[in-house]
Chain A
Amino acid sequence: MSVLLETRALARHFGAVTAATDINVSISAGEIVGVIGSNGAGKTTFINMVTGYLKPSSGDILFKGESIAGKAPRQVMRTGICRSFQVAQLFPELSVLDNVLIAYGMVKQPSLSLFKPLATAANIQQAEALLDEYGIAQYLPEKVLTLPQGVRKLVDIALAMLGEPAVLLLDEPTSGVAIDDKFELMDTVMRAVRRCGAAVLFVEHDMDVITRYSTRLMAFYEGRVLADGPTTEVMNNEQVKEFVTGHHLDIHPQQENIHA
């Protein structure tokens, strides 16, 4: 598998605080990588650096062999790396339809036409089709502000997927979502991901979600990658048990990777 994303000795400091240091990872096409770690372990900092939200203090980020370190989020997005957020980043006072139409207009035509109408029948139809793919077409006229967390998360991910990414970074896609809805949400996302063939890196606190969907796992601890490898291996790593998960888990092979 060809390497898409690679980081070399990536580090980020906030004054005397080291949020991330010496992060050397690579993600290949088609991989589904889970990321675990306690709060403050550097997971979101890592995603923020890769997607241009934060400039690395040192180190390099390569996408398809070219450095993207320090590029603005919009430039990173245009290279083929898209992301969703821990707290869904949408246009809350607007309807879901307007959210998708705006995103569609921006992604497909970044020069932003001044007089060509956006809400054409064809564009509305495409917005409906997109949301239908995520099973949320019924929310089209609703204001984002009124939506349940799970639906907001799906809209957030749907907008990220509009960019047809080669690498999709999901920051806690199931946080704030009801336990019963987590798997359904992840199933929907993974179906969409498989269709576009993107590699996925997702940060998650729910170990059931991690073991079910990731083929590879990275455990962060105090800004470093403590362990990186096949999910079962990392979950059974003694250091990971001690510093990250905090307990021993019985991982049965049949539970794993059913969507891999």
Chain B
Amino acid sequence: MRSFTLLLMALATVLLLGLGWLLPGWLTFLLTIALAKSLVVLGLLILMRAGLVSFGQGLYYCIGAYCVGIAGHYFDTQNALLLMLLAMIISTLVAAVIGLLLCRYRDIFFAMFSMAFSMILYGVLIKSAAFGSSDGFNVKPPLLFGWSPGGESGPLLAYGLAVVAVMVVCSLLWRYLRSPMGYAGEAVRENEIRVEYLGVSVQRILYTKYIIAAAMAGLGGAITALAAGHIDPDMAYWTTSGEFVFIALMGGTGHVAAPVVGATLFELLRTYASQISPYTWQMILGIALLAIILFLPKGVWSLLERIKKGKTS
């Protein structure tokens, strides 16, 4: 089963990379952003499995993006891998500090506190002229060890990086969810008292998960910056964090592939909704979310599981 899943993931990587050459530019870009956002939602999945809903993942998404922007703008760095690594490291460091406080809270308090921190960053960025204030600033095109596809194929580099990053993260997460630390999330969600009496610190479990989720959100932000070529403080705004929760609900948390499916559906839905109804596209998104909550409370992924169960029985 394990090797089958990994083989499936490897095949999906090759298929998605190949698709990049065939798909029109707008769709490649849309998929790149969806994949980048799915990285953030994969982190959210870890937290949600532990019973925590963060309305502040935009904080790390924005930090990741600004790491890319600032490093390119001020230090003339365009090496995509280095920038992605930097984004993850800085996000991890910030999470290591904020996590000490946040992991003491649960439920609505955790959600609101996490949102508060992302709004603090938003407020700081919007007033910082050095970082482009509310307009943000442009990001230099990425290079891979000095190489870029160039011309019309330029965005393919960000797409390729997004595909590989998502597949690597999914593979690692798939293993992680089957490890003692992976199970510990569900244990904490179900009963913190029992976890403590099994000799393990609940705080430590949640702290570890919070940091991992932040690193993934930072990576997602970095890829978005590389793909979009522009960053602005809206990435830390609460509606961006809400979007990630929306995607998590849409895709579900039952499988590592669920956030990827959710993010792709979300981006497609948003694109078509704004095209069909430019002034009321949010209403279409709202109706879609309502329908999912009513008919597929465990997300779109649960539909696949239902079909699979139906076939088995």
Cβ of B199 within 8 Å of any chain A Cβ, yes or no, is yes
Cβ distance B215 to chain A, nearest Cβ, rounded Å: 13
B183 surroundings in chain A (CB, below 8 A): 98, 101-102, 105, 118
B181 surroundings in chain A (CB, below 8 A): 112-114
Cβ distance B185 to chain A, nearest Cβ, rounded Å: 10
The total of interchain contacts (Cβ-Cβ below 8 angstroms) comes to 100
Residues facing A in B173-219 (CB within 8 A) are: 175-176, 178-184, 186-187, 190-191, 193-201, 205
Return the CB mask of B148-191 against A: 1 if under 8 Å, else 0. Answer: 00000000000000000000000010011011111110110011
Expressed in whole angstroms, the Cα–Cα distance for A163 and B195 within the complex equals: 12
Cβ of A90 within 8 Å of any chain B Cβ, yes or no, is yes
Query: In this complex, which of A78, A82, A89, A101 has the most chain B Cβ atoms within 10 angstroms of its Cβ?
Result: A89
B178 surroundings in chain A (CB, below 8 A): 117-119
B198 surroundings in chain A (CB, below 8 A): 74, 77, 102-103, 106-107, 159, 162-163
Cβ of A138 within 8 Å of any chain B Cβ, yes or no, is no
B182 surroundings in chain A (CB, below 8 A): 114, 118
Q: Of A78, A102, A113, which is within 8 A of B187 by CB?
A: A102
B195 surroundings in chain A (CB, below 8 A): 106
Interface size counted on chain A using CB atoms at 8 A: 37
A162 surroundings in chain B (CB, below 8 A): 198
Expressed in whole angstroms, the Cα–Cα distance for A102 and B194 within the complex equals: 11
Closest Cβ neighbor of B196 among chain A residues: A73
B194 surroundings in chain A (CB, below 8 A): 89-91, 103, 159
**Contact of A116 with B197 in the complex, beta carbons under 8 Å:** no
Q: Of A74, A98, A115, which is within 8 A of B196 by CB?
A: A74
Query: In this complex, which of B180, B184, B197 has the most chain A Cβ atoms within 10 angstroms of its Cβ?
Result: B197
Closest Cβ neighbor of A89 among chain B residues: B194
Expressed in whole angstroms, the Cα–Cα distance for A82 and B179 within the complex equals: 25
Return the CB mask of A36-80 against B: 1 if under 8 Å, else 0. Answer: 000000000000000101000000000000000000111001100
A92 surroundings in chain B (CB, below 8 A): 190-191
Cβ distance A22 to chain B, nearest Cβ, rounded Å: 27
Expressed in whole angstroms, the Cα–Cα distance for A94 and B198 within the complex equals: 16
Cβ distance B214 to chain A, nearest Cβ, rounded Å: 16
Cβ distance A254 to chain B, nearest Cβ, rounded Å: 38
Q: Of B179, B184, B190, which is within 8 A of A116 by CB?
A: B179
Return the CB mask of A246-259 against B: 1 if under 8 Å, else 0. Answer: 00000000000000
Cβ distance A121 to chain B, nearest Cβ, rounded Å: 13
Closest Cβ neighbor of A119 among chain B residues: B178
B205 surroundings in chain A (CB, below 8 A): 112
Expressed in whole angstroms, the Cα–Cα distance for A73 and B182 within the complex equals: 22
Q: Are A114 and B176 also in contact (CB < 8 A) when A72-B196, A78-B199, A102-B183 are?
A: yes
**Contact of A106 with B175 in the complex, beta carbons under 8 Å:** no
**Contact of B191 with A105 in the complex, beta carbons under 8 Å:** no
Q: Are A93 and B197 also in contact (CB < 8 A) when A115-B172, A117-B179 are?
A: no
Cβ distance A96 to chain B, nearest Cβ, rounded Å: 13
A115 surroundings in chain B (CB, below 8 A): 172, 175-176, 179
B200 surroundings in chain A (CB, below 8 A): 74, 106, 110, 112
**Contact of A163 with B199 in the complex, beta carbons under 8 Å:** yes
Cβ of A160 within 8 Å of any chain B Cβ, yes or no, is yes
Q: Of A78, A91, A110, A113, which is within 8 A of B186 by CB?
A: A91
Closest Cβ neighbor of B187 among chain A residues: A102
Closest Cβ neighbor of B178 among chain A residues: A117
Q: Are A94 and B186 also in contact (CB < 8 A) when A106-B199, A106-B200, A107-B198 are?
A: yes
Q: Of A51, A102, A109, A117, which is within 8 A of B197 by CB?
A: A51
Cβ of A83 within 8 Å of any chain B Cβ, yes or no, is yes
A51 surroundings in chain B (CB, below 8 A): 197
Cβ distance A192 to chain B, nearest Cβ, rounded Å: 17
Q: Spell out A's residues near B (CB within 8 Å).
A: 51, 53, 72-74, 77-78, 82-83, 85, 89-94, 98, 101-103, 105-107, 109-110, 112-119, 159-160, 162-163
24 chain-A/chain-B pairs, Cβ below 8 angstroms = A51-B197, A53-B193, A73-B197, A74-B198, A74-B201, A82-B197, A85-B193, A91-B186, A91-B191, A91-B194, A92-B190, A102-B184, A103-B194, A105-B180, A105-B184, A112-B179, A113-B179, A113-B180, A115-B175, A116-B180, A117-B178, A118-B182, A162-B198, A163-B199
Which 10 pairs show the lowest CB-CB distances between chains A and B? A105-B180, A91-B190, A106-B198, A73-B196, A112-B181, A89-B194, A77-B199, A112-B180, A106-B200, A74-B199
